[in-house]
Amino acid sequence: MNKKQIIREVAKRTGFSLRLSSIVIKCCMHTIISELKQGNRISLKDFGAFSVVKRHGKTYFDFRERKIKKSLSKNSVKFVPYKNFKKQLCLNVVDIHSVNDGSLENKITLEDSVYKRSLPDHGKIDSNNYGQQNIGERTIHKQDLSENILVFNGNFPYDKFQGELDHTNFPSIMIPQQNTSILIPQPDKTGATIGVMEPVLFSRLHKMCEELSCIKILDNVKLPILNRNYSYRPDICLCWEEKNLYIDIEVDEPYDIVSRKPIHYKESGDNLRDRYFIRNGWCVIRFTEQQVHDNIEGVTNYIKRLLRWLTNDERIKFDEDSLNSVERWSYDQAEQMASDNTREEYLDLLDDVSTKHIQTNNISKITNTGKNVFLKPDEDILLPKKESKWVSIINDIAKSKCDYCKVIQTDGYQWIYDKHITIISKNGNEFITGKSPFNYDLEISIDKIADLVPLETLFSEIKWKKHDGMCLKDFHKMREILFDAIANGKPIWCAYRSNNSGYSKRFLSNLVYCWREPNVQSPHIGLGHGAKYDLSSLSHFFAYCSNRQEFRMFATDYRLEELIVLNCDHVYLCPEVYERSFARLIMSIYENNNRNAFFENADKILEIMPKKELESPITQVNLADYQVLKGNIDKAVELYQQKPYKYFLTPSYTWGEACIADIKYFINLFKEHQTSSPDAKKLLHNFSDVLKRLMQSNWIRTN
């Protein structure tokens, strides 16, 4: 319908003349455009809202010039339909790639048939169908509708939990919690749509399974969905029965090659599907279609590394990780890629920049019968968790005489609430939350809580107060207290007299000492200088202020009239563990060396670092780097060789790969700075010597 047709329809429905209807429509359009030009938002009840949003420049491939370019930022009009409007547009046609991905509207109607490429029997590889891109004719098969029966067998045996947040990069992995019950897949009589690159990956994995007969590819299986009468279908399913291991391998494309609709974009609903799999004992790996196309060896090797990382089974042989990480695309980026024919370009499906030779002529249209109605996957598909043990603990704390309680997290870090805390649920996950004396309502995942402890008293015995006849020694004592609070993450209560706002009392957390701009997410970085020299250098510090509800700078002079240290430590509004602060300091030696007592700083962090973090692989690799920086070559080599070269830290790298990568990083760094830094040449020699020793040692040769 165009503008003239709309005018005629308005005239027909209202009885107005065409001229009057034209004036009304034009006036309406002019008003909308005028308001949007001024940056205003237009909201129309039961219809939707128009607003102006800034679209950032997009990276695209210029086919004519054969170059990657980036477009300029621009303003764009965004329309958000309201609920009642969407209800009236409940379509009865389903996107062939989105039937079960959780990104559809509230209700969908499935047809009797969906697109599907025929698959050979399990174990029989047809060279005409497998090992090649699936760009041929697609056929229609009847949709199988049956009652889903959930059958569980065994528990996930590995303690490698990888969270439940939506993935932001490819490859991405999601690993269930240890002892999660495993939902057994069912045979899928109808199959599902096969992507372009899935047959290629299937063929390579089949060869891997021939080498490792213990691992099988389950062809044409589905995972029943709780409270739904249809199923999720893995792109490829790996099964290792003796290890109680099921892996869903997904190959994600930015858009459907036929309908051109964006898919698998950020916040598309893939996360709900992934969580359903891991809540039922399955692992999930996601690759991009282009990763499979451009580096099939790297993808296969990454899967082998994941299997070795999980099981530590030495039968699995692997190479170094050669798969580059790819950022997940947004909806707008996927639209741009569809416009640019990005998939057709890297899949070599274009004869030239304007002609596609993908076979679409034989794709039949879907006809709607309107018989089978399915509800969109929602949070109720996630298996309900058992009643949390924290419920009774929270109730006991609420009845206690204490006014506050302390949350101790699994990583040792803490937070303070008043005693009236609650458990809330968001996106299928549980969090505890409540009011805090710091005037910041932090939500902490139940999975990250080790203990809840009532605080008999909020304040410790460590305190300081200004008095008449103050001397330098009194200020020195006050700064000692502050330095300890900074080093150990202890919040304080203080009375402070500001030149602008006068006298007030407040709680301060995330105390940070630094020379220049505060790094509130790494408050430990600036500790060394105060440890090396006298405390008079601690003239100012930064902290999160409960009054202003923001980070502010405070002076350590006459303006600070009273302070009391709270009865807790390692309390951070922006939790940054010591091991990452130490790593950031070591890996950015030139950034932090200026007026920051580099070595004393690192020594101080090591001194106060919790044992769990000190013993972590991340810290130990950086500690070995640190010994090279200090010139302790023998000690460094000993630290590098403390674990086997092939000891896995993540599927992306082993212990040995991480150590060698760090050493090469420093060699390149000091090559760049050897003309500007007097110590760079010596440090370059140290790391080159260490690399030579390791490369000639049994540590690397026997692995």
Domain range list for the chain: 3-88, 111-366, 390-455
Q: Could you give the CA distance from residue 462 to residue 452 in angstroms, rounded to a whole number?
A: 24
Residue 639 is predicted with a pLDDT of: 96
Residue 162 is predicted with a pLDDT of: 85
pLDDT, greater one: 290 or 369? 290
pLDDT of residue 224 exceeding 80, the answer is yes
pLDDT in tens, 401-439: 899 999 998 888 899 999 999 988 776 678 899 999 998
> Strand 245-252 vs strand 283-288: parallel, antiparallel, or unpaired?
parallel
Q: What integer is the mean pLDDT of 55-69?
A: 60
Model confidence at 703, in pLDDT bands (50, 70, 90)? low
pLDDT of residue 360 exceeding 80, the answer is no
- Measured in whole angstroms, how far is the alpha carbon of residue 376 from the centre of its chain? 24
Q: Which of 154-158, 426-430, 511-515 has the highest mean pLDDT?
A: 154-158
One-letter amino acid for residue 592 of the chain: N
Look up tokens 């029965």; give the residue: 241
Q: What integer is the mean pLDDT of 529-534?
A: 48
pLDDT of residue 354 exceeding 50, the answer is no
> What is the fold, at CATH topology level, of the domain defined by 3-88?
HU Protein; Chain A (4.10.520)
The least confident of 139-143, 302-306, 525-529 is: 139-143
Q: What is the CA radius of gyration of the chain?
A: 31
Residue 516 is predicted with a pLDDT of: 59
DSSP 226-290: TT-SSEE--SEEEEEGGGTEEEEEEEE-SB-TTT--B-S-TTSSHHHHHHHHHHTT-EEEEEEHH
The least confident of 61-75, 283-297, 568-582 is: 61-75
pLDDT in tens, 269-301: 898 899 999 999 999 999 999 999 999 999 999
Q: Which of 78-92, 585-599, 639-653 has the highest mean pLDDT?
A: 639-653
Residue 380 is predicted with a pLDDT of: 78
Model confidence at 370, in pLDDT bands (50, 70, 90)? very low
Q: Could you give the CA distance from residue 126 to residue 200 in angstroms, rounded to a whole number?
A: 12
Residue 351 is predicted with a pLDDT of: 60
Backbone angles phi, psi at 503, to 5 degrees: -80, 135
Residue 515 is predicted with a pLDDT of: 58
Residue pair 655/644 in contact (Cβ under 8 Å)? The answer is yes
Q: What integer is the mean pLDDT of 341-357?
A: 71
Residue 622, burial from CB neighbour count under 10 angstroms (0-12, 13-18, 19+): buried
pLDDT in tens, 668-692: 999 998 888 888 999 999 999 999 9
Residue 107 is predicted with a pLDDT of: 35
Output the average pLDDT for the chain: 81
What pTM was computed for the model? 0.70
pLDDT of residue 693 exceeding 70, the answer is yes
pLDDT of residue 60 exceeding 60, the answer is no
The H or E element containing residue 78 is: strand 74-81
pLDDT in tens, 187-202: 887 656 678 888 899 9
Q: Could you give the CA distance from residue 190 to residue 96 in angstroms, rounded to a whole number?
A: 14
pLDDT of residue 597 exceeding 60, the answer is yes
Model confidence at 342, in pLDDT bands (50, 70, 90)? very high
The least confident of 64-68, 219-223, 392-396 is: 64-68
Backbone angles phi, psi at 649, to 5 degrees: -95, -45
One-letter amino acid for residue 70 of the chain: K
Residue 84 is predicted with a pLDDT of: 75
pLDDT in tens, 226-245: 888 778 999 999 999 999 99
pLDDT, greater one: 118 or 182? 182
pLDDT of residue 155 exceeding 50, the answer is yes
pLDDT of residue 24 exceeding 80, the answer is yes
pLDDT, greater one: 124 or 446? 446
> What is the fold, at CATH topology level, of the domain defined by 390-455?
SH3 type barrels. (2.30.30)
Residue 561 is predicted with a pLDDT of: 92
pLDDT of residue 323 exceeding 80, the answer is yes
Share of the chain above pLDDT 70, in %: 80
* Burial state string for 482-496 with b = 16 or more CB within 10 A and e = fewer than 16: bbebbbebbbbbbbb
pLDDT of residue 129 exceeding 50, the answer is no
Q: Could you give the CA distance from residue 274 to residue 283 in angstroms, rounded to a whole number?
A: 9
The least confident of 80-94, 351-365, 379-393, 395-409 is: 351-365
Residue 117 is predicted with a pLDDT of: 34
Q: What integer is the mean pLDDT of 632-644?
A: 95
The least confident of 358-362, 363-367, 518-522 is: 363-367
Q: What integer is the mean pLDDT of 480-493?
A: 90
Residue 174 is predicted with a pLDDT of: 95
Share of the chain above pLDDT 90, in %: 37
pLDDT, greater one: 644 or 522? 644
Q: What integer is the mean pLDDT of 465-479?
A: 86
pLDDT of residue 119 exceeding 90, the answer is no
Model confidence at 113, in pLDDT bands (50, 70, 90)? very low
Residue 702 is predicted with a pLDDT of: 59
pLDDT, greater one: 148 or 625? 625
Sign of the alpha-carbon torsion through 213, 217, 221, 225:
positive
pLDDT of residue 359 exceeding 60, the answer is no
The least confident of 23-27, 243-247, 666-670 is: 23-27
Residue 491 is predicted with a pLDDT of: 95
Residue 184 is predicted with a pLDDT of: 92
pLDDT of residue 609 exceeding 70, the answer is yes
pLDDT of residue 528 exceeding 80, the answer is no
* Beta strand extents in 556-670 (DSSP E only): 560-566, 648-650, 653-654
